Amino acid sequence: MALILHATKTNKNAFKTLIAAEYSGVQVQLATNFEMGVSNKTPEFLKMNPIGKVPVLETPEGPLFESNAIARYVAGFNGHKALFSSSAIDNARIDQWIDFSSMEIDANIIKLYLPRLGFAPYLPAVEEAANSALKRALGALNTHLASNTYLVGHSVTLADIITICNLHLGFTQFLVKSFTLEFPHVERYFWTLVNQPNFRKVLGQLKQAEAVPPIPSAKKPSQPKESKSKPKDEAKKVAKPEPEKPKEEIEEEAPKPKPKNPLDLLPPSKMILDDWKRLYSNTKANFREIAIKGFWDMYDSEGYSLWFCDYKYNDENSVSFVTLNKVGGFLQRMDLARKYAFGKMLVIGSQPPFKVKGLWLFRGQEIPQFVIDECYDMELYDWTKVDISDETQKERVNQMIEDYEPFEGEPLLDAKCFK
């Protein structure tokens, strides 16, 4: 029998329960035809929660409201313990981070966002205080995550689920890249977890907000009227109607052409990237003799450059699937460079901590600036330009392209290709 959750499918507080259900194997269904502002005002709903707030969960023992309590119930339903610890102190720390993310992160995100929806008056002093408090909270979280993959222990707990859901609104609606860059470990944590299967099944594919929504003009405090009376002769003046604008001025301007990517303005290259990607994909045998030789025959050292990358925080890679998800998320966010790049990412080692190393081919002589600006993962790696006149570096390129094993004396856990 499924538990019934009364909420819309886009409610971030409902996400907490739905993700917890995925980890705990509990069947939870959203109430059919639920409509916010209508369904939650019916007498039936108000019997379950007298103040009409969502979500509400129907359980065999009766209704339950407040999203954190609902998520705890589902996470522990029928004795499930996957999202908790066997240690009393660690369970207290799970509650600690749940309370922290609710009071210090979620509360301040809400204060910043509601005025932008027109649901609260815009008060600059309130925004400044909420912004300062949010930065302080994210700074504390960033410090903790600098040496921890998860909030508590070495796997996902309920604390991670609730914290990610509390961050979700900010990251997707108004916390733009220039803001979150100050907290790189929080960024890594958020994007790593939202790309794990159980999170992604509920949240879908997420994209970071690109702009801060403006404050509706009706919600901005009005300017005080001037108390000084106007001179009598000025009051007698009658406003002259403005001359009618020529038709050409009032018509909408034609949309400006989208600026070209600077890489498209480079001199033509003899290397056709799609030809190399096709050769790589179609070579099934004699890889060195066909694909590697073909790569160097095609390679244009004036039109393209090769780069090694090494993950800066390999000591954090203590869980294999988390490390793999981390790399997978990086490759997804590199999609903006697909027309201009080819990459290989290796996850190395049979035991933790796993090492992450990569090889990238980029159009031009430098890493494209738009990639650095838009893909936050770039700053999590040390980047070194390949000197192809150095035979040792050239051979390392060959080994990374062909997934040579053992690589630098260690087995490969996995190899991923961006093409």
Residue 333 lies in a domain: yes
Please state the φ and ψ torsions of residue 88, each to the nearest 5 degrees. -65, -40
Q: Are residues 111 and 38 in the same domain?
A: no
Rounded to whole angstroms, what are the CA distances from 238 to 61, 74, 276, 419? 74, 70, 74, 69
| CA angle, residues 6, 10, 12, in degrees to nearest 5 | 85
Q: Are residues 13 and 55 in the same domain?
A: yes
b/e 304-334 (16+ beta carbons within 10 angstroms → b): bbbbbbebebbebbbbbebbbbbbbbbbebb
Q: Are residues 67 and 123 in the same domain?
A: no
Q: Quote the DSSP letter at residue 10.
A: T
Name residue 385's beta-bridge partners: 307
Q: Are residues 69 and 169 in the same domain?
A: no
Give CA–CA dist 66/352, Å, rounded.
39
Give CA–CA dist 183/273, Å, rounded.
35
Q: Are residues 60 and 149 in the same domain?
A: no
Give CA–CA dist 223/362, Å, rounded.
53
The CATH number covering residue 185 comes to 1.20.1050.10
pLDDT, tens digit, 9 for 90 and up, residues 126-145: 999 999 999 999 999 999 99
Task: Look up the domain containing 17 and give its range.
Answer: 3-79
Residue 213 lies in a domain: no
Query: Are 16 and 168 a contacting pair, CB within 8 Å?
Result: no
Other CB atoms closer than 10 Å to residue 53's CB: what's the count?
14
Q: Are residues 179 and 66 in the same domain?
A: no
Q: Are residues 312 and 383 in the same domain?
A: yes
Name residue 58's beta-bridge partners: 4, 63
Residue 35 lies in a domain: yes
pLDDT at 332: 85
pLDDT at 385: 97
Q: Quote the DSSP letter at residue 38.
A: T
The CATH number covering residue 277 comes to 3.30.70.1010
- The domain total for the chain is 3
Q: Are residues 273 and 199 in the same domain?
A: no
Q: Are residues 35 and 107 in the same domain?
A: no
- Give me the residues of the chain with pLDDT under 50, please: 225, 227-229, 232, 234-236, 245-254
Q: Are residues 308 and 348 in the same domain?
A: yes
Please state the pTM of the whole predicted model: 0.56
Question: Which residues, 6 or more positions from 375, have their beta carbon under 8 angstroms from its beta carbon?
Answer: 330, 333, 334, 336, 337
